[in-house]
Structure 1
Amino acid sequence: MGRLLPRLGPAPDGAAALPLLIFAVTGMGGIGKTALAVEAAHQACAKGWFPGGTLFVDLRGYDDAPVTADQAVLALLDALGVRGPELPQTTARQYDTYRTLLTERRDRTLLILDNSSDPSQFLPLLPGTDHHRVLITSRDRPDFLPVRLIDLETLAPDDSAALVTRALHDADERDDRPSREQDALRELTSLCGHLPLALQIAAAMLRRRRHRDIASLVTEIKAAGDPTAVLDNGSRGTDLYGRSLVLRPVLETSYRRLPPDQARLLRLLALAPGTETSAEAVAALADLDTEAALSLLEDLAATHLVTPVEGGEGSASGVRWRLHDLVRAFGVGVVARDAELVEEGEAARERVLGFYCRWADAADDRLQWLPGRPEPERFADRAQALEWLDGERAGLVAAVQWAGEERYADAAVRLAACLAVYLEWRRSFDDGITVGRAAREAAHRFGDHHREADAWTNLGSALRQAGRAGEAVDAHTRARNLYQAAGDRHGEADAWTNLGVALRRAGRVGEAVDALIRARDLFQAAGGRHGEADAWNNLGLALEEAGRVGEAVDAHTRARDLYQAAGDRHREGMAWNNLGTALQEAGRVGEAIEAFGKDLEICREFEDWYGAGQTLHNLAFAHESAHRPSDARACYLQAADAFTRANAPTEAAQARTWAEDQE
């Protein structure tokens, strides 16, 4: 309303006459275009802006028989008092009379042409004067006309809850379900996609079932899997404009009007993993080149069936594409009812999963790349790999969930393995647990013990970093047993390292030392220098906790040297940090500060802000030990900034508190 109403007002005194202004309120079906237009008209007339009143015509553009301009002009002439014998006999004369009346009409009038689906419905009806205003509503954007567009979006969550609450209270002010069931109300509005039409239907259903709670409707919708099926089944009324309160016909009419290529893309996009999809991923889904996919997406966006999301990453255009939840559910239903469309959809899902596997594998190779290894394709550096993974993350994680379906299980398990390092790097531990579980269950189901062991390993790492050390110990024990059974000595050694780390986090330090010594020995026997460095690094941490500080310093020194020899700069930095901690514990504060400085340089080089925050915290503590409070305070403040960049607000707040303690 804030964008539309002020523009309907008359020109300020003394200002030049405005040219003919045509406004188009656009948005998907059911979003409230007509309601907004009518409310704006009421408010504008109440302000005295349109002494000539409002002329309203419902063009029924999305019905089976839309109103033509020739039919609409008869209704407008009738509203202007031209009827019976005064009505001209020919269509051309009718238009002439209509335009003449508007030209001669001195009282400013607002013409509302509602529910247009094609410019041919409204172009002949535009007045030949700039004195009046025209307001058009449509599901399609008339981009090629000089029209001021106002695109409507779904309601904000708070506004959705307020709409349902108000509808229930209007019927019965004693209805306290919204206040008693705030969580259920929020979930209901989310299931309705915050679409006003769906919310109106849900509210009507709640009014009718006034002795049942809101949660019962939520449960019914979730069990059905398709909100439109439940809401349409429960809908029995009409809105204030005499239109039936039903969702599916609104979506079906929009879908049926699409050209075949756009209809196909809409169906396939409904099957895409994640809620937002890059044009590149859409192209893979539809087996098109990216430019062709973009063109079709832009056409669908003009019909408000697809929404562009600005500022997205992972896409050449910087835009991602999203379906409204109810449109997605409708598209899934269209596919499910036709065997040929089901096969078309399954083939599309295979393509996008293959696309994700290829580039996630390349991105993972870049994240783990060391000098001397082959250069990964596509991604020139870590920043490019992380940018792509960040942009596609929601789709990647969602695609792994397809591991539960036999057709996609193998590729989904491979994809899960490619995401483990990235999700750990971004500290996305919940996603890591979700991905690890899906891969573990699928690998177990099709009897691939080696991949199952890998999945247990990745799941255990995510559990450990999420603070669930006991579960992590169990996961790494499972992985170790599977590697042993498969005769994979390298995998077994990795599992012993991970088990040792989890045992230390669980407070079982003695067992952790034993496990890590076992890992170190296995790597030494197998010649795995990089794995040996990991074992030494973690052994040093366990030894330090066990009070064996001198041995810990030696262990971290060995780890640092091995990482340097392997060219692994990032892990070298971790070893420097751990060495600094051990040196400080040993009372060698000057050497500790130097070690922390080495790690901080590497963390900043890799933009590892969480690691930088940890190192700055350790450096601050070292300055405290050296009785340098101003240096300590500066390091704590820098640590807070680094943790903030790493999306670790708890650690950032704690660092600020410690900084204040230095004042």
Structure 2
Amino acid sequence: MGGIGKTALAVEAAHRARARGWFPGGTLFVDLRGYDDDPVTADQAVLALLDALGVRDGDLPPTADRRYDTYRALLAERRDRMLLILDNASDPAQYLPLLPGTDHHRVLITSRDRPDSLPVRLIDLETLAPDDSVALVTRALHDTDERDGRPAREPGALRELTHLCGHLPLALQIAAGMLRRRRHRDIASLVAEIRDAGDPATVLDRGSPGTDLYGRSLVLRPVLEASYRRLPPDQARLLRLLCLAPGAETGTEAIAALADLDTKFVVSLLEDLAARYLVTPVRSDNGTAFAMRWRLHDLVRVFGAGVVAGDAGLREEGEAARERVLELYARWVEAADGRLRWLPGKREPERFGDRGQALAWLDAERSGLVAAVEWGREERFAGAVVRLALCLAEYLIWRRYFDDWIAVAEAAREAARRSENRLGEANAWGNLGSALQETGRTGEAIDAHTRARDLFQAVGNRRGEALAWNNLGLALQYADRAEDAIDAHTRARDLYQAGRNRHLEAIAWNNLGLALRTAGRAGEAIDAHTRARDLFQAVGNRHREAIAWNNLGLALVQTGRMEEAIEAYGKCLKIYWEFEDSYGAGQTLSNLALAHEAARRPVEARTAWLRSADAYTRANAPAEAVQACARADEQTE
């Protein structure tokens, strides 16, 4: 892409090659200015090349064809190998007539477009790695003043600056020039200025120090504008709309919805944009273009969004596109959520044949889905966002993405409030409370569940009220208010029984058992967990059945019935592994280890602790894994 450092790399390579004696015949360099308003033609370039080769004025052949003949003849006569650099080409017509016609010499061409139709070796340049970006800016400052201590004093600010520059060499060079000019200011001040502006190109171009070593203007936005202006209308439209997509990467299907185009046609346009290095394809596991994801450079995204924002017609086009992708997301998230919650006997959700497919799709789309929920802060999208956020909750719980869960719930709450959707607001408060509880913010969780309960009561939704009582009871347990928790879970159970919902009644019985055990009423807890287990079995919810078996084991341990507890944990583990629930398996294995410790079986306890550590590692829970390993080591002491 523009600004990636093609010219700098080509010139550096040429200098090193010359130093090694690879091109004793010398090096010729022509800037074809392919992306300027008036690109250099091959006919113009050959005049410059002939001049460099000593043919000028009266020695010049009168016609273009004879000039090319003379040019090639001169190169053919040269015994010493030469290097020809044809820089910044936008069209093969600019450089094809300039090729020497012999393999004795070498040609290096730089371009923002990929010439796939030509049999030439292609070297794709990516943005710099984060560490290399930091090194580039650091070296640029130290080359000017070796005493410049800002990079060492502000490593965090420097790394953030390179991130804001998108690790694009042109942007990094401009930033380094600005820091040289403001040598008495810290790096953090430039970071703050860019963040406040929201558009790195605006700040960098405004503070650009002038020109680079090759006499080229160090400006960022014209580079992006030149690439954009050269696009055919259909590609330009797709690029603009893609800049509005949520998330860093977007799937082909979502892009098709954005553009309101057939998927096959969208893939073709995306491949054209990728050939111009304005989008980057992210390879999919199955290798099909329709399952691929596509990434935009951050600076391209900000530029495209700015183009849309500056035109009323394009803004309306963009809003309609966002509505379409939100509708697509809401539909497929609802289907994926239905698969995650599916029980035997229920209607089969569309699209996803099993839990694995639903989770794989959600994993791939997560960043975009979470970003799309933030659109709910705009009234136009509030309704779709409330629906989307509600369906994301089960997945975010399952994958333990608690920060995302909190962000989604807060955005949904505001969207529901803005659209006066009291039921949606109640659900959002409930999800927020559960997410806060998982992150240890128990007091805030109690307040959130209380708000949810009151809203459900106000709209007369008994099922929602029962859910709020249930969640409130769990939060109260964490706050060591066992008796209040028992009351809350009893209210939830009674409401579910009145509504004849056996599945939700089972959840209430299970949570009531937890509260009873916390209150020291282990015998009653065993009865409650047994009721929950039997109900889960009856409705076919295997994963919830596993939870009930685990909790039954805890209550059995409390009453000293170790062998029964160990058997319960074994039944629980079998189901957890069926569902590939590594975190749940880690918890149960920890409980099993404690049961073996209580029964004075150190060898069995150590084995269970090590298995627990392995399960937690698979679940990306390193703190729990370390703790389990430490407990395993204690068994040998």
The structural deviation recorded for 1:577 is: 0.7
Q: Which residue is 1:605 aligned to?
A: 578
Q: Which runs of 5+ in 2 are unaligned?
A: none
The structural deviation recorded for 1:55 is: 1.1
Q: Does residue 628 in structure 1 map to residue 581 in structure 2?
A: no
1:116, 1:640 → 2: CA distance? 57
Q: Which residue is 1:260 aligned to?
A: 233
CA contact (8 A) 2:573 2:585 kept: yes
- CA deviations on 1:151-206 (whole Å, 9 max, x unpaired) are 11111112112222222222222322222222222221111111111111111112
Q: Does residue 94 in structure 1 map to residue 67 in structure 2?
A: yes
Q: Does residue 645 in structure 1 map to residue 618 in structure 2?
A: yes
Q: Does residue 180 in structure 1 map to residue 180 in structure 2?
A: no
Amino acid at match of 1:365: G
Calculate the aligned-residue CA RMSD, in Å: 1.5
Q: Which residue is 1:65 aligned to?
A: 38
- CA deviations on 1:229-283 (whole Å, 9 max, x unpaired) are 1111111411111110001110011001111110000000000011100111101
Q: Specify which of 438, 450, 463 is matched with residue 490 of structure 1.
A: 463
Amino acid at match of 1:570: H
Q: Which segment drifts farther, 209-218 or 378-387?
A: 209-218
The structural deviation recorded for 1:346 is: 0.5
2:438, 2:539 → 1: CA distance? 26
CA contact (8 A) 1:314 1:388 kept: no
Q: Which residue is 1:363 aligned to?
A: 336
Q: Which residue is 2:167 aligned to?
A: 194
2:286, 2:377 → 1: CA distance? 28
1:284, 1:640 → 2: CA distance? 43
Amino acid at match of 2:93: S
CA contact (8 A) 1:314 1:387 kept: no
1:289, 1:391 → 2: CA distance? 21
The alignment partner of 1:623 has SS state of helix
- CA deviations on 1:421-444 (whole Å, 9 max, x unpaired) are 010000000000000000111111
2:364, 2:337 → 1: CA distance? 14
1:115, 1:597 → 2: CA distance? 67
The structural deviation recorded for 1:639 is: 1.8
Q: Which residue is 2:22 aligned to?
A: 49
Q: Which segment drifts farther, 441-450 or 263-272?
A: 441-450
The alignment partner of 2:35 has SS state of coil
Q: Specify which of 64, 88, 112 is matched with residue 115 of structure 1.
A: 88
2:369, 2:289 → 1: CA distance? 18
Q: Does residue 303 in structure 1 map to residue 303 in structure 2?
A: no
Q: Which segment drifts farther, 455-464 or 74-83?
A: 74-83
2:309, 2:207 → 1: CA distance? 22
The alignment partner of 1:647 has SS state of coil
- Sort the Cα spacing of 1:626 and 1:317 in 2 relative to 1 into closer, same or farther, 3 A: farther
The structural deviation recorded for 1:512 is: 1.4
1:521, 1:538 → 2: CA distance? 13
Q: Which residue is 1:480 aligned to?
A: 453
The alignment partner of 1:29 has SS state of coil
2:105, 2:146 → 1: CA distance? 42
Aligned length: 636
Q: Specify which of 440, 443, 447 is matched with residue 470 of structure 1.
A: 443
The structural deviation recorded for 1:574 is: 0.4
1:541, 1:167 → 2: CA distance? 62
Q: Which residue is 2:215 aligned to?
A: 242
The alignment partner of 1:135 has SS state of strand
The alignment partner of 2:86 has SS state of strand
- CA deviations on 1:382-401 (whole Å, 9 max, x unpaired) are 11111111111111100100
Q: Specify which of 508, 515, 530 is matched with residue 557 of structure 1.
A: 530
Q: Which runs of 5+ in 1 are unaligned?
A: 1-27
- CA deviations on 1:551-579 (whole Å, 9 max, x unpaired) are 11111101101111111111011001111
Q: Which residue is 2:377 aligned to?
A: 404
The structural deviation recorded for 1:631 is: 2.7
Amino acid at match of 1:385: A
Q: Does residue 654 in structure 1 map to residue 599 in structure 2?
A: no
Q: Which residue is 1:548 aligned to?
A: 521
Amino acid at match of 1:207: R
The structural deviation recorded for 1:121 is: 0.8
The structural deviation recorded for 1:445 is: 2.0
Amino acid at match of 1:383: G
Q: Specify which of 144, 167, 172 is matched with residue 171 of structure 1.
A: 144
1:99, 1:149 → 2: CA distance? 24
Amino acid at match of 2:363: D
The structural deviation recorded for 1:506 is: 2.1
1:34, 1:526 → 2: CA distance? 72
Q: Which residue is 1:20 aligned to?
A: none
CA contact (8 A) 1:313 1:388 kept: no
Q: Which residue is 2:348 aligned to?
A: 375
2:560, 2:53 → 1: CA distance? 95
CA contact (8 A) 1:314 1:391 kept: no
1:553, 1:316 → 2: CA distance? 54
CA contact (8 A) 1:312 1:391 kept: no
CA contact (8 A) 1:314 1:392 kept: no
Q: Which segment drifts farther, 233-242 or 204-213?
A: 204-213
Q: Which residue is 1:433 aligned to?
A: 406
CA contact (8 A) 1:278 1:315 kept: no
The alignment partner of 1:535 has SS state of helix
- Sort the Cα spacing of 1:425 and 1:527 in 2 relative to 1 into closer, same or farther, 3 A: same
Q: Which residue is 2:126 aligned to?
A: 153
CA contact (8 A) 1:313 1:320 kept: no
Q: Which segment drifts farther, 545-554 or 330-339?
A: 545-554
CA contact (8 A) 1:313 1:390 kept: no
Q: Specify which of 35, 48, 65 is matched with residue 75 of structure 1.
A: 48
2:118, 2:248 → 1: CA distance? 32
Q: Specify which of 605, 608, 619 is matched with residue 592 of structure 2.
A: 619
2:634, 2:99 → 1: CA distance? 72
Q: Which residue is 1:384 aligned to?
A: 357
- Sort the Cα spacing of 1:328 and 1:312 in 2 relative to 1 into closer, same or farther, 3 A: farther
Q: Percent identity?
A: 74
CA contact (8 A) 1:312 1:320 kept: no
CA contact (8 A) 2:270 2:279 kept: yes
Q: Which residue is 1:454 aligned to?
A: 427
CA contact (8 A) 2:249 2:293 kept: yes
